[in-house]
């Protein structure tokens, strides 16, 4: 990570693309990076992350379980479900087992479009997430609150007449109820061909008394507030879709690999994978 500027902002440069980034306010992607043990975060991100950790013991393990779920879901979709197109919204700062790496290991022709609205994420993605020679990887500066714009941009890389896997992992909690999260997911899935899939993970509100306080502390410090949801609320995102066994479960319990870590208390985000009929 570059030396942290004293003025509270930096300039991200990627080819001809330049953006000013306010590092004095915590950002969701950089807070998440800190919880994963990454180094692409700043003092404000670390301070916010630690405040939330103090109210929610086991959060680091739950975040890592969410990341492991991404890899298992992408592997299932590419290796077992025959999916070779992925629309990954809310990419986050690159870490181990990114969607295109897992998918292209199983299906080399896989095409992946990553979407995020954090300039730091996009700079890192363009620099680090290189496609294999048989596939394709593209990056879109987009906001989940504008699904139509995301679909237009993704159509330059993906063929929407063929099935696509929509990956929404650790992003929907940043969409408030007033912003229509269920309508956003429905609009995205409506645009996808039959046989497409939704892979979704969502931080849980119903896993312990500390969650409400953790949410409050997060919202005090981070630029985009979060809205944790119960299992029943998360289930609504899968309306009209056919859930793949074992259904909607804690993400660490979704087809775990041998040796996968179980978070403290045996709880994590709610998650699942479902097919569009």
**Rounded Cα distance, 46 and 62, in Å:** 17
Please give the pLDDT value at position 20: 55
Q: How many CB atoms lie within 10 A of CB 240?
A: 10
Let me know if residue 16 belongs to a domain.
Answer: no
Please give the pLDDT value at position 96: 66
Please give the pLDDT value at position 203: 94
Let me know if residue 189 belongs to a domain.
Answer: yes
Let me know if residue 20 belongs to a domain.
Answer: no
Let me know if residue 139 belongs to a domain.
Answer: yes
Let me know if residue 6 belongs to a domain.
Answer: no
Provide the residue range defining the domain that includes 118.
59-275
Q: What is the CATH number of the domain that holds 96?
A: 3.40.50.150
> Which pair of structure tokens corresponds to residue 20?
């000013």
Please give the pLDDT value at position 95: 72
Let me know if residue 39 belongs to a domain.
Answer: no
Please give the pLDDT value at position 13: 46
Please give the pLDDT value at position 12: 46
Let me know if residue 134 belongs to a domain.
Answer: yes
Please give the pLDDT value at position 128: 61
Number of domains within the chain: 1
**H, E, C per residue of 168-234:** EECCHHHCCHHHCHHHHHHHHHHCCCCCCEEEEEECECCCCCHHHHHHHHHHHHECCCCCCECHHHH
Let me know if residue 223 belongs to a domain.
Answer: yes
The segments of the chain whose pLDDT lies below 70 read: 1-20, 96, 126-129
């Amino acid at each position: 990570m570059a030396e942290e500027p004293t003025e509270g902002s930096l300039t991200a440069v990627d080819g001809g693309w330049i953006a000013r980034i306010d590092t004095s306010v915590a950002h969701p992607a950089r807070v998440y990076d800190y919880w994963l043990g990454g180094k692409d975060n700043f003092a404000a991100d670390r301070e916010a992350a630690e405040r939330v950790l103090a109210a929610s013991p086991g959060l680091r393990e739950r975040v890592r379980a969410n990341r492991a779920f991404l890899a298992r879901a992408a592997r299932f979709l590419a290796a077992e479900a025959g999916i070779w197109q992925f629309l990954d919204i809310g990419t986050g700062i690159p870490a181990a087992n990114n969607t295109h790496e897992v998918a292209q290991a199983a299906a080399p022709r896989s095409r992946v479009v990553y979407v995020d609205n954090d300039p730091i994420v996009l700079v890192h993605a363009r620099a680090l997430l290189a496609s294999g020679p048989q596939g394709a990887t593209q990056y879109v500066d987009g906001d989940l609150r504008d699904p139509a714009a995301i679909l237009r941009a993704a159509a330059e890389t993906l063929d929407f007449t063929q099935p696509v896997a929509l990956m929404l992992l650790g992003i929907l909690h940043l969409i408030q109820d007033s912003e229509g999260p269920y309508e956003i997911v429905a609009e995205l899935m409506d645009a996808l061909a039959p046989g497409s899939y939704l892979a979704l993970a969502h931080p849980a509100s119903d896993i312990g008394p500390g969650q409400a306080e953790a949410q409050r502390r997060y919202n005090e410090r981070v630029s985009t507030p979060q809205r944790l949801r119960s299992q029943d609320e998360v289930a609504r995102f899968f309306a009209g879709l056919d859930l793949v066994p074992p259904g909607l479960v804690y993400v660490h319990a979704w087809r775990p690999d041998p040796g996968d870590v179980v978070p403290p208390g045996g709880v994590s985000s709610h998650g699942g994978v479902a097919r569009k009929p």
